[in-house]
């Protein structure tokens, strides 16, 4: 039998609604399916049974459930992704708004995508090196992101290797990082056997301090450039955790599609202010959403919200569908 309970704001419990559940409730669609593992994304869940069939539930506005895209505010109950029945799926992984499934033959299947593209895990045919390749619809591809990555080559930013254009898509090749901060936040309290809302013990607090310190150093690097740079899309999904640690550094920033150069002598003038209403609304500084002049402090606002999540402080994130 499969039960669900707790925070259900994105419908991740598979009950067809987003009302939180305070006592265990049966999820009938998953009962008697011999489910052996669950993998959680930001607003959805995938489940795998003992014969490697995949079930999906939750939010599906990006098609991350492997089903027809549904509107904002529709929460889907569990259903088997029949397209995967004959693929012999060995491993699945969930990102913010997309999923990856690895078959026994080594083929990578992509489910859904993010707002500005899909990230693929690829292996070089000759030397076996593994990279991340961001695939973007050709109409959305902006050379500015590539130029930003070239301008910020450092240990604080995901490493850029190459980019190219094809008829339908643009591609950006980068180093592969194993996890994002979003993934870490989803499991951190479970690893330390802590209920959400309970205080951190000294070990978890020390580790949280180290994570946040490295995030601050990454942003400090951008703000200390000449000219300075504002990221404008800081959120747990865009903070990556590297697998091969060098010099003790394991945190890097990614996704520079919205980053911009900042010169206070120019951009604090009303006629030359930065673009308004840009980035993820949940982490967006009020002055950006209100169309006012803004600068480096807009990133600091985002950092405050991220820090709250890391240290288990109750943070109120603005949900766009509730405005």
> Annotated binding site for ATP: which residue ranges?
134
CA-based nearest residue to 141, from 122, 174, 116: 116
Cβ contact 14:78 at 8 Å: yes
Verify whether residue 233 is a known catalytic residue: yes
CA-based nearest residue to 280, from 313, 246, 305: 305
Cβ contact 77:57 at 8 Å: yes
The DSSP line for 224-259 is TSSSEEE-S--SGGGEEEEEEEETTEEEEE---SS-
Segments in 152-296 forming alpha helices (H): 181-191, 202-223, 264-267, 286-289
The one catalytic residue in 233, 255, 280, 299 is: 233
Helix axes 297-310, 202-223, angle to 10 degrees: 170
Radius of gyration in angstroms for the set of CA atoms belonging to the chain, rounded to a whole number: 20
User: Would you please indicate which residues are annotated as catalytic (active-site) residues?
Assistant: 233
């Amino acid at each position: 039998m499969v039960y669900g309970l707790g925070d259900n704001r994105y419908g991740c419990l598979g009950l067809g609604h987003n009302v939180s559940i305070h006592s265990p409730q049966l999820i009938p669609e998953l009962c008697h399916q011999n489910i052996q593992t669950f993998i959680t994304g930001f607003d959805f869940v995938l489940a795998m049974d003992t014969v490697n069939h995949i079930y999906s539930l939750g939010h599906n506005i990006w098609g991350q459930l492997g089903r027809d895209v549904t509107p904002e505010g529709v929460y889907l109950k569990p259903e088997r992704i029949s397209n995967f029945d004959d693929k012999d799926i060995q491993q699945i992984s969930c990102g913010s708004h997309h999923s990856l499934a690895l078959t026994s033959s080594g083929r990578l299947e992509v489910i859904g995508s993010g707002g500005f593209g899909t990230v693929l895990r690829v292996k070089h045919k000759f030397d076996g090196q593994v990279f991340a390749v961001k695939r973007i619809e050709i109409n959305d591809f902006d050379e500015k992101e590539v130029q930003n990555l070239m301008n910020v080559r450092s240990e604080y930013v995901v490493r850029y290797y190459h980019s190219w254009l094809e008829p339908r898509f643009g591609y950006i090749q980068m180093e592969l990082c194993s996890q994002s901060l979003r993934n870490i936040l989803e499991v951190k309290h479970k690893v330390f056997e802590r209920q959400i809302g309970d205080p951190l013990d000294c070990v978890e607090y020390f580790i949280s301090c180290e994570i946040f310190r490295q995030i601050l150093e990454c942003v400090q690097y951008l703000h200390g450039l000449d000219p300075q740079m504002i990221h404008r899309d800081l959120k747990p999904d865009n903070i990556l955790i590297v697998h091969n640690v060098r010099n003790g550094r394991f945190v890097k920033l990614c996704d520079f599609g919205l980053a911009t150069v900042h010169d206070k002598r120019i951009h604090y003038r009303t006629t030359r202010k930065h673009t308004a209403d840009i980035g993820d609304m949940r982490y967006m500084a009020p002055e950006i959403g209100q169309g006012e002049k803004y600068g480096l402090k807009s990133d600091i606002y985002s950092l405050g919200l991220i820090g709250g999540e890391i240290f288990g402080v109750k943070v109120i994130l603005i949900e766009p569908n509730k405005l």
